[in-house]
Structure 1
Amino acid sequence: MGPFAGKGTGTVVGTTFEIAGELRVRRLGYGTAQLTGPGYWGPRLTPGEAVALLRRAVERGVTLLDTADNYGPDIAEELIAQALHPYPGDLVLATKGGVIRTGPDKWHAAGRPENLRAMCEASLRRLRTETVDLYQLHRIDPAVPLADQLGTLAELREEGKIRHIGLDTVTLDQLDEALTVLRPASVQNRFNVLDRESEPVLERCAEQGIAFLPWFPLGNGSLTTGTGTGTAIERVAARHGATSGQVALAWLLHRSPVVLPTPGTGSPAHLEENLDAVGLVLTAEDMHALE
């Protein structure tokens, strides 16, 4: 248990989840986007600092690392391999493909079969592995039939290059369409205590037992301010002697057992703070206040 044990009368949430019924991970993971610079372009830290951060996350028990080929581009995947290869047996690597970058904050969907295949194989080389545990379609390319995009990933799965397939940034209709083609192991949508637009997608994932990885779980930094008395989040944080960011992460863990937050940071102190949130037990009163 974390430093908050015994400070509430709520239910302790489950700390693990089995992606696709077989990849057991601790629900609070680590995202690598913040290892890159502004606009997800170039490096943010020195290689030594980034390697130390990744190793510390695993030392603290993280078993789910979320990354993408275009974080950098290439940089985040290369840092993971530099820091952790050969990988611990319980570490699950989740990466993404299907987007081409042309500059900071410039993203272009590229879902043609030849693009997806080339991206996946490049990720395997950078990660120094023959199979990626979870490969997520980073964006659905509107110019390519979804069945063709998922079909390519299914072929890569049959070839042993992908173990499980996921989706990133989808509507409920798109998820339902995908379910007619294959069963995604995961969905990664923007979702946090202040941004619940993807609530219907989360509900479908819960119904289907699909892992839901919320991106921007801390509101892109807007939920990491110190505690006070102004907002519901700050009031709950003050009652528990926690930070607003820890409450935001605990809310996600309490919200549904399929939610797997992977907050990212380039700060060692912030990493420790985030991972301590798993021990924060929110009460029914806390959850009601945050609703």
Structure 2
Amino acid sequence: MKDAGNSGSHTDSGSDRDDTGDARHSPPAGQCEESSHDDIDDEEYQEKESQSSTSRQTPENEAASISFGALVKAQASLGNRNRSHDDDGYGAARKTLGKNDAPRDFTNEEALERRAGKKDTRDFSRTSKHAPAELSSKKAVSRKREVVPTQKFNHRDPRFEPLSGAVDEQKSRRNYAFLETYRNSEMSELKSAIRKTQDSEAKEKLKRSLLSMESRKKAQELKEQQQKVLREHRKEEKKKIERGKRPFYLKKADQRKRTLVEKFEGMKGKQIDKVIERRRKKKAARERKGMPDARRV
């Protein structure tokens, strides 16, 4: 019996040892349940991550597979809807709000006004003189730059200023009579240079300058003769007026005739013939110019 009891005790101790061994090698029941729950949570988190990654990637893949024509059509339809919605909302807001209470969103206002074809009635006056000027973007910017011009310095000659009174030609000619002597000396120098020069081009140039100086001198002499005729006529008329006669004013044609008569009176026979021949040729050339080409022979 003792043996049996001992054996039983041995068996019990063995079983106890097995139980303690199992207890040593196997975790407790609560820990097993927690680890199983952690494994399940990790699996669920990984599944959610994979689903989110697939959901993130799918729109890009879908957009890449859509054709450009479909995208353009969708964009046009969305744009028309948004525009009509914005117009309705903006019109209602403008009706409910006053003119002064309207929102100062210049970009939206300007876009809507441009679509409606309205004039820009906004006030672009500056809040202060130091603020920059504000302009409407509906007006085209000029390509021409507005440059402030500098003040031009005008040279003044007191001899020809209106403040000094009317110009007396006779007086000025008397004061500057020495210029005539200078011109005469220049003309004599030109004549001597024409005789000495051998180059044909230089000689032609000197001849042209001499001819221009001579023509100016002749024009001045003719003008002086006309003024002389006028002075003499005025003296005669003054005397006639003193005697009680009515004044007679010379016409320009009569002035030219009298000057021509005085010119011929101061000439010799050969000079008169030359002048008459020159005038005849000049008149014939003028008449020939007005003639048709067939009758110019």
TM-score by length of 1: 0.19
Which structure: larger Rg?
2
Structure richer in strand, relative to its length: 1
